[in-house]
């Protein structure tokens, strides 16, 4: 990152963190992936049951690797045959890890989902939710965040999972109702009823999609 991008991101992150605070959520700014990893681990006590519902950014900062190597009960849904049991276990986890599809500069989180296991666990269940969010996902308003989620994140995820959707072929959202659509549920997190439940680590890097 050039120093000018870093200066801009630091200023923007302050605004996002202030917005999160006004919504009963806690924000942090990490200047790189290493700092983000240290901040995330500081939020996860040893012995915690931890799980996640996708999220490339969580992998990209090395958090999954660290949790698997450390003294944590990391519930890896990819290693559990019974997918329904894995999803249900997530609701009772101590910590749920995620990355947002977009966040507004005043602290609203936007996530879309096909199966809805991820958005439902963000909304309710796990005692703590820790988001890892690259500054590339910060948008100036809710409309911009929704557009980002549908025209950037969703088409890339559709391609990643080999889904037959218009966006996986055209690179942008066509508002489909195809059987493979991953835009079944939209979660807009504008306030957290429970203090200290939602934590958002903003990282001065391009992470995820
Ligand atoms: S609604 Fe359909 S075309 Fe649009 S992003 Fe979602 S899956 Fe892709």
Parse the chain into domains and list their residue ranges: 3-203
Whole-number Å distance between alpha carbons of 66 and 55? 15
Question: Where do the H-state alpha helices sit in 1-102?
Answer: 3-22, 33-43, 56-60, 63-69, 83-91
Which residue of 165, 168, 180, 209 sits with most ligand 1 atoms within 8 Å of its CB, as the best mutation to test the pocket? 165
Q: What is the pLDDT of residues 63-79, one digit of tens each?
A: 999 999 999 999 988 88
Q: Which residue has the tokens 């890339």?
A: 156
Phi–psi pair at 193, nearest 5 degrees: -65, -30
Q: What is the pLDDT of residues 138-171, one digit of tens each?
A: 999 999 999 999 999 999 999 999 999 999 999 9
Residue 92 has pLDDT above 80, yes or no: yes
CA-nearest residue for atom 5, ligand 1, is 173
Ligand 1 atom with the shortest distance to the CA of 150: 5
User: Domain 3-203 falls in which CATH fold?
Assistant: Rossmann fold (3.40.50)
Residue 1 has pLDDT above 80, yes or no: no
Would you call 81 exposed, middle or buried from its count of C-beta atoms within 10 A (0-12, 13-18, 19+)?
exposed
28 CA to middle of ligand 1, Å?
A: 31
């Amino acid at each position: 990152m050039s120093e000018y991008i870093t200066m801009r991101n630091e200023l923007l992150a302050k605004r996002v963190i202030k917005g999160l605070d006004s919504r009963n959520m806690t924000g942090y700014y990490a200047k790189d992936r290493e700092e983000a990893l240290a901040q995330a681990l500081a939020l996860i006590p040893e012995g915690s049951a931890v799980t996640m519902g996708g999220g490339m950014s969580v992998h990209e900062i090395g958090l999954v690797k660290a949790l698997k190597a450390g003294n944590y009960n990391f519930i890896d849904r990819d290693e559990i045959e019974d997918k329904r049991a894995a999803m249900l276990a997530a609701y009772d986890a101590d910590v749920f890890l995620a990355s947002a599809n977009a966040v507004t500069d005043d602290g609203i989180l936007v996530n879309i989902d096909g199966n809805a296991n991820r958005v439902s666990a963000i909304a309710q269940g796990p005692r703590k939710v820790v988001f890892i969010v690259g500054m590339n996902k910060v948008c100036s308003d809710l409309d911009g965040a929704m557009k980002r989620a549908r025209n950037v994140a969703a088409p890339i995820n559709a391609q990643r999972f080999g889904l037959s959707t218009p966006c996986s072929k055209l690179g942008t959202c066509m508002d489909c109702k195809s059987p493979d659509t991953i835009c079944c549920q939209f979660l807009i997190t504008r306030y957290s009823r429970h203090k200290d439940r939602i934590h958002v680590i903003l990282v001065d890097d391009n992470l995820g999609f």
